[in-house]
Amino acid sequence: MKKIMVSGCLGQIGTELVTKLRRDYGAENVLATDIREDSAHVLPEGPFVILDARDGKKYAEQVEKFKPDTIYHLAGLLSATAEKKPQLAWDININGVYNALECGRIYHSAVFFPSSIAAFGPDTPRDKTPQDTLQRPNTIYGVTKVASELLAEYYHKKWGVDTRGVRFPGLISYKTLPGGGTTDYAVDIYYQAVQQGKYTSYIARGTYMDMMYIPDAIDGMIQLMEADPSRLVHRCCFNITSMSFEPEQVAAAIRAHIPSFAMDYAVDPVRQAIADSWPNSLDDSAARAEWDWDPKYDLESMTVDMLKNLRAKLGDKAKF
């Protein structure tokens, strides 16, 4: 990769991806775009353009002007928000991917897009979910992810577009606030632990979901796009994971550092139903074999890093 464009750059993944890409490839070589203005100056260095990813004409104009060899298309609505606004979710999640793929076809850019564990459904094997298996999601978010996976595969087979992607588990970060995802309890719990010393979980005890610390996710996205294409049997999308846990295990990891931490439950039926349709754990052996995927963080090491960085970030608001 030499010149890179990122859509949806102000989301949980985008802010951290752009920061690392600019550090590794040069700020001037990474164009950040989002439908929102960068009013908080989250990404102060390098070019930034306001772009609605649904606008195919303007998307193409930016690609033609900047001439990226790689597009990271991250714009989209997350799971819980998508369930509340299914028509908008289809519009953003499908049309955005289509516009990115069209730009890849016309301007010969490689295209990365993130799929999700939501691409699986209640009929999928729940434990060590295989790379290639039944995908019948029962959420609009999952439906858009499966459709996008198939569309990206089509563009690769039909026109040779270099499409690549991963199925992310829940992503955990101290830099970005929870943004409407079902797995966001695993972010919020750390914020509440250092500020309040307690947390009320909207996900039920015993609900296992795959998770990943954001540094591993960012490294994986870059590693995949730099991988030798001749090794890639799969394209869209690879299972990747680093840990699987349920709320009590996160609470126990936090209590190792904040012994007084308390947790109770007020289960949200909408997000719980979504979680119950997803895998407990993923088989990511294809990613490990085809491009050497190897995450660094587990629950314990992530917890140490999350608490340390949140205390520094929150300052006087961190009471524990």
Instruction: Give the integer Cα–Cα distance in Å for 292 and 285.
Output: 9
Question: Would you state the structure tokens that stand for residue 22, as one six-digit string?
Answer: 């600019």
Question: Would you state the structure tokens that stand for residue 215, as one six-digit string?
Answer: 């540094």
136: nearest Cα among 150, 154, 152, 124:
124
Residue 42 one-letter amino acid: V
Contact 91, 54 (CB under 8 A): yes
Catalytic choice (72, 141, 155, 199): 141
Instruction: Give the integer Cα–Cα distance in Å for 122 and 141.
Output: 14
Contact 112, 164 (CB under 8 A): yes
Burial 32-57 (b: 16+ CB within 10 A, else e): bbbbeebeeebbeebbbbebbbbebe
Q: Is 185 a catalytic residue?
A: no
| Residues whose CB is less than 8 angstroms from the CB of residue 64 and which lie 6 or more positions away in sequence, other chains included | 107
Q: Rg of the Cα trace of the chain?
A: 19
Query: Measured in Å, how far apart are the chain's first and last C-alpha atoms?
Result: 43
What is the bridge-based pairing of β-strands 163-168 and 238-239?
Answer: parallel
User: Which neighbouring-strand residues pair with 293?
Assistant: none
> What is the DSSP code (8-state) at residue 182?
G
Active site residues: 141
